[in-house]
Amino acid sequence: MEVANETLTTPAIQEKAVELTGSAALLEALIIEGVDTIFGYPGGAIMPIYDALYDYKEKLNHILVRHEQGGIHAGQGYARTSGKVGVVFATSGPGATNLVTGLADAQIDSTPLVCITGQVFAHLLGTDAFQETDVINITTPVTKWNYQVTDATEIPEVIAKAFYIAKSGRPGPVLIDITKNAQIQKFDYKGYVQCDHIRSYRPKPIVRQQYIQEAAALINQAKKPFVLFGQGVILGSAEQEFKAFVEKSGIPSAWTILGAGAIPTDHPLNVGMLGMHGNYGPNVLTNDCDVLIAIGMRFDDRVTGRLDKYAKQAQVIHLDIDPAEIDKNVKTTVPVWGDCKETLPLLTALVEKKEHTEWLKLFNEYTQKEVDAVIHEELNPTSGEMTMGEVIKQLNELTNGNAVIVSDVGQHQMVACRYAKLNKTRSNVTSGGLGTMGFALPAAIGAKFGAQERDVIAIIGDGGFQMTLQELGTIMQTGINVKIIILNNRFLGMVRQWQELFNERRYSFVDIQSPDFVMVAKGYGIEGKCINEREELVDALKTMMNHNGSYLLEVMVTKENNVFPMVPQGCSVSEIRLK
């Protein structure tokens, strides 16, 4: 019985078994897991699953992407805005290997995905059959868990484990490879039971009250405490708990790029962005604080700069759900293991209500230095070509900080992360740890499916856009409403900036030519416009936002503008340059 006119499964075992194929059992599992959208691309080895999907079209919305990498980035965007697990289908061989970049991206950025790949018949495994690759060994380093199914009877239990592993603890991508014989094999299906426990797998470490007390004692005696918060706050749905902690303790707080939006960017205790192109005050004063409280962040190199010169004067409190992150890069004084949604309220109950007025004033003074040296000129130029910053500033005026901003990778990403106003959580979608060019367009498509009631705006460079522009076809076919801004500086801008600053302007293969992006978009039925003059900007942005459907706006910006402040590679965060 392959046709599913109504869902056969319940969260518990059925009294009477029915005969299903492995493919139908997979789709039944997805429905019970609450999946509503799948991003995928069919092929020979996954064809039985797509054949079964034909009978589930009323229950499962499948989005046909134009490339498997586009599919997995769309799944990431969906997961990031919805808070649910993204689901991706791909066939064997090149279909599966095209997922690898997205898997690596999702792994390092802790994005929950379940990827289903088709595989050749089990009896052909290891024979170099057509479109066979060893996807399990290829993807082991870039998945939280992977597994190959060769017998249909395994499918319900394996899929249940896949969803549990992907979304529990520190989230991440899971890949399930299903051989073609398992997809077509019929078996007695007895229902689907969601997984809530796996022996030897502990997604949440035990919260130790002793460490909570020690952390609170350090915070209460601190004169210059400083909070660094990352995406762990958002992944743990702990935004309200975090806000309560910050407001009671009165501690200045700065964010990693994936933590942006956990509290509004204009909150009085939000002092800006950390990292290589972060704000001046948070970077310099990291090496001046006496207690550093890291919450749901991993001290990556773009935040710390030189580790041997990073916050050596401070006692460090690290709240993280992943014990492997504690002491990995920065030595911790007090480790607080656990889900920050659980640990933060315990900590908040013990901290004293304070206002660190003079300490916060110092951050504001550094902010003013940055405004005078960098920000005012970037956001309010009066002559010359347009800057990326002024585009983001004018966009803020129209969105009021309520849109989802999906940025690609490069100078425009740093500018968008620095200047975009974010009033809501799950509003900043970007490739953080892997830095994947081409991420934004497909991720914006997925982000819109994950948050259909919100405006979704993709901010992309002329280089990154050309890596995945075929996904305009996905927009055309689905009719999804995504706004696309290409900030075109006719360069691979971030590489060019480094070549200017550190390689004596030896511009080696960074001058990139592009097609007429507006004409390309129109070829896919998407309206668009290209502007060169500052006087056109506001009206062009209004036209884009008011347009009924997707729209592409290309803005020609100055060619050799650099993103500052900047911590040069190999330098301390306190050596950040304003110019």
Q: Does residue 569 carry a catalytic annotation?
A: no
Residue 284 has a pLDDT of 97
Average pLDDT, rounded, for the chain: 95
| Whether residues 217 and 334 fall in one domain | yes
Structural domain boundaries, residue 537: 380-569
Q: Which residues pair with 226 in a beta bridge?
A: 292
User: How many domains does the chain divide into?
Assistant: 3
Catalytic residue, candidates 494, 497, 554, 564: 494
Catalytic residue check, 529: no
Buried b (16+ CB within 10 A) or exposed e, 183-198: bbbebebbbbbbbeee
Q: What is the pLDDT of residue 179?
A: 98
* pLDDT digits 0-9 by tens, 55-95: 999 999 999 999 999 999 999 999 999 999 999 999 999 99
In the beta sheet, which residues pair with residue 406? 429, 458
Is 34 in the same domain as 64? yes
Tell me if 5 is assigned to some domain. Answer: no
Is 59 part of any domain?
yes
Q: Determine what percent of the chain is predicted with pLDDT higher than 70.
A: 97
Q: What does the block give as tokens for 409?
A: 């990778």
Residues 331 and 468 in one domain: no
The residue type of 176 is: I
- β-bridge mates for residue 529, sequence order: 553
Q: 46: helix, coil or strand?
A: helix
Pull the structure tokens for residue 321: 């759900």
Same domain, 457 and 316: no
Q: Is the pLDDT of residue 7 over 60?
A: no
Residues 244 and 115 in one domain: no
556 is catalytic: no
State whether 504 and 544 are in the same domain. yes
Query: Is the separation of the CB atoms in 168 and 203 below 8 Å?
Result: yes
With contact defined as beta carbons under 8 Å apart, do 441 and 461 qualify? Answer: no
Both 23 and 140 in one domain: the answer is yes
Q: Are residues 347 and 441 in the same domain?
A: no
Q: Which of 144, 180, 243, 393 is catalytic?
A: 180
Which letter does DSSP use for residue 351 in this model?
S
Residue 9 has pLDDT above 70, yes or no: no
Of 14, 130, 221, 223, the catalytic one is: 130
What pLDDT is stored for residue 16 in this prediction?
Answer: 79
**Domain of residue 291, CATH code:** 3.40.50.1220
Quick check: pTM over 0.75? yes
Percent of the chain at pLDDT above 90?
96
The string of pLDDT tens digits covering residues 402-442 is 999 999 999 999 999 999 999 999 999 999 999 999 999 99
DSSP code, position 206: P
Copy the structure tokens of residue 542.
């209004």
Considering only CA atoms, which of 291, 436, 448, 277 is closest in space to residue 370? 277
**Is 369 designated active site?**
no
Residues 430, 528, single domain; the answer is: yes
* Catalytic site includes residue 413: no
Same domain, 318 and 404: no
What average pLDDT score do residues 477-496 get?
96
Is the pLDDT score of 1 beyond 50?
no
> Residue 473's domain is classified under what CATH number?
3.40.50.970
The β-bridge relationship of strands 186-191 and 13-21 is antiparallel
CA distance 532 to 513: 17
Assess if residue 29 is contained within a domain. yes
* Domain contains 577: no
Over 70: is that where the pLDDT of 567 sits? yes
Could you tell me which of 198, 193, 172, 53 has the C-alpha nearest to residue 118?
53
Question: What is the pLDDT, as a whole number, of residue 62?
Answer: 98
Do 547 and 409 fall within a single domain?
yes
Which is the catalytic residue, given 68, 239, 325, 378?
68
pLDDT digits 0-9 by tens, 187-240:
999 999 999 999 999 999 999 999 999 999 999 999 999 999 999 999 999 999
d(CA 555, CA 486): 6
pLDDT in tens, 535-558: 999 999 999 999 999 999 999 999
Measured distance CA(291)–CA(259) in Å, rounded: 20
DSSP string, 128-184: T-TT---HHHHHGGG-SEEEEE-SGGGHHHHHHHHHHHHHSSS--EEEEEEEHHHHH
pLDDT for residue 8: 43
Could you tell me if 325 and 181 lie in one domain?
Answer: no
Going by C-beta distance under 8 Å and a sequence separation of 6 or more, which residues neighbour residue 573? Answer: 283, 284, 286, 287, 303, 304, 305, 309, 310, 567
Task: Quote the tokens at residue 142.
Answer: 């870039």
- 515, part of any domain: yes
Q: How confident is the model at residue 507 (pLDDT cuts 50, 70, 90)?
A: very high
Last residue of a domain, which of 332, 363, 394? 363
Whether pLDDT at 5 is above 50:
no
The gap from C-alpha 35 to its chain's centroid, in whole angstroms, comes to 19
**201, part of any domain:** no
Q: Which of 131, 213, 470, 477 is catalytic?
A: 131
Q: Distance between CA 156 and CA 216 in Å, rounded? A: 45
